[in-house]
């Protein structure tokens, strides 16, 4: 996980979510506004954001009003309608296909939840979406937040695809959720919501969805409206310092290159992004990144997936990732994670060196 001292800003809709829950429980609204440091007028101010401290307070307040016997993410979701995604949700609805809608959600996710980073990986029959925390809040908040985010994606995906009557029943059937933490209670509720058992104790957080579902056209597609919304969202994305749109695009290109046996260099990536190599380097630097760092990061993330999702020999893993030898791969992997590839394969749930050393705000 990336070390960071960045101050995240969260949409005020997260405060509205907590207030809606408190009202449903007939809680103390005056105390809510006092602890949040907000006024009722702040909740309808389009320029109002929550600081990291306020977002933490909102999570704490929400946890105090949770009822026993039902997963917390479901109780939160009941107070978070699909329309709460704002322009991002409308842009997804007006996309050409469900896959395009998913790309919109991933690209502009920092506008909704800046403390997480999403990455999509396309394989032959399926697409995987990985979710990485950029900020930890501690248990149980990290677990509930991750479940809530994936549930929000699942519901939005079903909501969007529901415009095709034959597609909706297949969405849950063809989606598999993976979570790194362990749950032993209310498993039936998780299975009922997600459509199949959740894979708790996985190596990565995220979900897998069938490519055939993602290729479904959307009846709500409107090119003109969609393009207008993308322009507006792109402008909003550039205005928040924690967003890294170019970094995410480069990550996707590097990942797809590795999957197809290609090691893309700066010239090839710059060409695909319609910019010069110098401009690519400058804009990545503005996002506090570099092509070298991204290449190393993407290689290691792909390595982790290959090591934990199958029995591909280490020599083949090294070859797929573009290393000159298995020994070179092992050295690079241990330097990046503090563990050998073999150790990760045997004990995938043990945190790596970088996660243990991560600064928690």
Q: Give per-residue pLDDT as tens, 41-55.
A: 988 887 788 888 899
Average pLDDT, the chain: 84
Q: What is the pLDDT of residue 350?
A: 54
pLDDT of 230 strictly over 90: yes
| CA distances (Å), origin 292, targets 248, 251, 252, 282, 311 | 14, 11, 15, 13, 28
71-75, 150-154, 174-178, 306-310: least confidently modelled range? 306-310
Q: What is the pLDDT of residue 1?
A: 38
Global pTM reads 0.70
pLDDT of 269 strictly over 60: yes
pLDDT (average), residues 127-141? 89
* Cis status, amide bond into 140, omega within 30 of 0: yes
Which structure tokens are listed for 89? 């949700």
Half-sphere exposure of 177 (CA within 13 A, CB side): 27
pLDDT of 163 strictly over 80: no
Q: What is the pLDDT of residue 24?
A: 95
Q: What is the pLDDT of residue 20?
A: 94
Distance between CA atoms of residues 28 and 38, nearest Å: 14
pLDDT tens digits for 104-116?
A: 998 899 888 988 8
Q: What is the pLDDT of residue 355?
A: 44
Distance between CA atoms of residues 52 and 264, nearest Å: 37
55 burial level (CB within 10 Å; 0-12, 13-18, 19+): buried
Q: What is the pLDDT of residue 34?
A: 93
Strand partners, 200: 179
The dihedral through the CA atoms of 107, 182, 203, 124 has a sign that is negative
Strand partners, 117: 132
Give the three-state DSSP class for 200: strand
């Amino acid at each position: 996980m990336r070390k960071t001292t960045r101050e995240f800003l969260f949409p005020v809709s997260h405060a509205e979510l907590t207030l809606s829950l408190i009202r449903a429980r007939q809680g103390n609204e005056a105390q809510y506004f006092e602890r949040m440091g907000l006024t009722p007028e702040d909740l309808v101010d389009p320029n109002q954001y929550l600081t990291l401290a306020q977002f933490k307070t909102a999570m704490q307040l929400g946890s105090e009003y949770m009822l026993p016997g039902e997963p917390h993410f479901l109780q939160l979701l009941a107070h978070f309608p699909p329309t709460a995604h704002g322009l991002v949700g409308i842009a997804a609805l007006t996309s050409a296909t469900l896959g395009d809608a998913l790309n919109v959600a991933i690209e502009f996710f920092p506008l909704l939840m800046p403390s997480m980073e999403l990455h999509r990986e396309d394989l032959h029959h399926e697409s995987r979406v990985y979710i990485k925390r950029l900020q930890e809040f501690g248990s149980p908040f990290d677990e509930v937040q991750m479940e809530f985010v994936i549930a929000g994606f699942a519901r939005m995906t079903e909501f969007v695809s529901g415009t095709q009557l034959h597609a909706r029943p297949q969405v849950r059937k063809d989606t598999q959720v993976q979570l790194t933490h362990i749950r032993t209670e209310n498993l039936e509720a998780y299975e009922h919501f997600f459509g199949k058992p959740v894979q708790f104790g996985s190596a990565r957080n995220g979900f897998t969805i069938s490519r055939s579902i993602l290729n479904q056209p959307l009846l709500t597609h409107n090119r003109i409206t969609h393009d207008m919304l993308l322009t507006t969202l792109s402008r909003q994305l550039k205005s928040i310092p924690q967003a890294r749109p170019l970094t995410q695009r480069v990550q996707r290109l590097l990942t797809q290159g590795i999957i197809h046996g290609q090691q893309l260099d700066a010239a090839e990536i710059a060409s695909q992004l319609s910019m010069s190599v110098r401009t690519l380097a400058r804009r990545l630097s503005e996002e506090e990144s570099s092509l070298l760092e991204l290449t190393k990061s993407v290689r290691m993330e792909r390595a982790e997936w290959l090591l934990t999702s199958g029995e591909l020999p280490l020599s083949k893993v090294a070859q797929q990732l573009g290393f000159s030898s298995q020994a070179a791969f092992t050295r690079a992997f241990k330097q990046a994670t503090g563990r050998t590839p073999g150790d990760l394969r045997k004990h995938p749930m043990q945190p790596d060196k970088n996660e243990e050393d991560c600064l928690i705000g």
